[in-house]
Structure 1
Amino acid sequence: MSINECFKSTRLLYRPYQQEDLQTFVEMSHEDSRRRWFYFQEPDCLTPAFWAKIINNNIAAWSKKVNLLEEKAGYDMAIILKSTGALIGSVGLTKYHGPEIELKDIEIGYHFREVYQGCGYGTEAAIAAVGWGFTELHKLGTEPKIVGKAEFENTASRLVLERAGFRYVHSEPYLSVYEIFN
């Protein structure tokens, strides 16, 4: 996939980040729901410099051949509402948390602007991202498995995973862990 291509689901478009996304991501990082669940990124995630780096890493990752097993930046996608063209959130798949921590499995992550939460977009985006991820993992000749993690108290995120077809596996400190196979 090139930097300008995207895939689609019923109501949403998915594409790599663009420089024009900077202000929206900064605004989103200041929303209460994002700050509640991404507290471990503060205060850095509140700055334009943080998001500029994230966007540049994303552009660099998408400029190469997609390999979910090797790209340390992961593959995050901006989620665009087809009906308005608005950037409403992000969904991504990664095998790494930063350059040093390699995960056992591919992990899905997502977040949405508050005004678009509770509309079913999370489930739609998770299903689309998992479908794309399974396709990419098959190309690499690996057994497709994707995990999702949500804090116990984050009922909305846990419901997104369940509605997208993930099954609960076990608990870790503060987290419920889910998985899905193709």
Structure 2
Amino acid sequence: MLINEYFKSERLFYRPFQMEDLQTYVEMCNENSRRRWFYFQEPDCLTTEFWTKEFENNIATWSKKVDILQNRFGCGLAISLKETGNLIGFVGLTKFHGPDDELKDIEIGYHIGEAYQGRGYGTEATKAAVEWGLAELRTLGSEPKIIGKAEHANWPSRRVLEKAGFRFVLAEQYLSVYEIVAQ
């Protein structure tokens, strides 16, 4: 599978963000269930201006072949329902957190809007992204390893990782670290 092809799972479709998604995504980023766990983000991370730049980067990233090990903006995809096309969240894989912050492993991130939580979409999206990511890592000749992190008290996110096949490996100061390694 080419990295730029959209892929699907049972109920979901994964695609690059489009500017039409902007307002919906900004609203999702400002929901209490997300802000509770992303309290450390600067206030500008909750604005349309911030996400306009991020969307422009995402669109530019997906307009060419993406290298999961090199791309600074990560391989983030919008999640939409197959049935309606509605944007419901985000799933992404990245090796970078900031301008000079390279991670040792690929890290998965995900967010499902409040109206769609509790239906298994996070687990479904995480499984699909991991399958895709491990295949890409193998293609690139890299050790296929993906990690996930969640605050210790963020049980819904920790359950998503566990249901998606991750195993707990480490408790950091604030975070529980999980990993999945191709077999």
TM over 0.5: yes
| Stretch of structure 1 that moved more, 55-64 or 13-22 | 55-64
Q: Separation in 2 of the partners of 1:58 and 1:38?
A: 20
Q: Give, in angstroms, the shift of residue 42 of structure 1.
A: 3.1
Q: Which residue of 1 aligns with 2:21?
A: 21
Q: Which moved more, 1:65-74 or 1:34-43?
A: 34-43
Give 1:53's aligned residue: 53
One-letter identity of the residue aligned with 1:122: G
Question: Alignment RMSD, CA only?
Answer: 1.2
1:94-113 maps to which residues of 2 (within 5 A)?
Answer: 94-113=94-113
Q: Distance in 1 between matches of 2:115 and 2:42?
A: 22
Which residue is equivalent to 2:81?
81
Which consecutive residues of structure 2, in runs of 5 or more, have no partner in the other structure?
none
In structure 1, the residue corresponding to 2:40 is in which secondary structure? Answer: helix
Map of 2:6 onto structure 1 = 6
Where does residue 146 of structure 2 map in the other structure? 146
TM-score by length of 1: 0.96
- Structure 2 Cα separation of the partners of residues 34 and 128 of structure 1: 22
Rounded Cα–Cα distance in structure 1 between residues aligned with 2:39 and 2:47: 14
Over the matched positions of the two proteins, sequence identity in percent amounts to 67
Q: Deviations over 1:84-105 (max 9, x none)?
A: 1100000000000022100000
The Cα shift of 1:124 comes to 0.3
Q: 1:122: which partner in 2?
A: 122
- Contact 1:66 1:136 (C-alpha < 8 Å) held by counterparts: no
How far apart are the structure 2 equivalents of 1:132 and 1:164?
13
* Equivalent residue letter for 1:168: F
Q: Any idea what SS the aligned residue of 1:169 has?
A: strand
CA distance in 2 between counterparts of 1:127 and 1:26 reads 25
One-letter code of the match for 1:28?
M
Correspondences of 1:166-177 after superposition (within 5 Å): 166-177=166-177
Moved over 2 A (4+): none
User: Any unmatched runs of 5+ in structure 1?
Assistant: none
TM-score scaled by structure 2?
A: 0.96
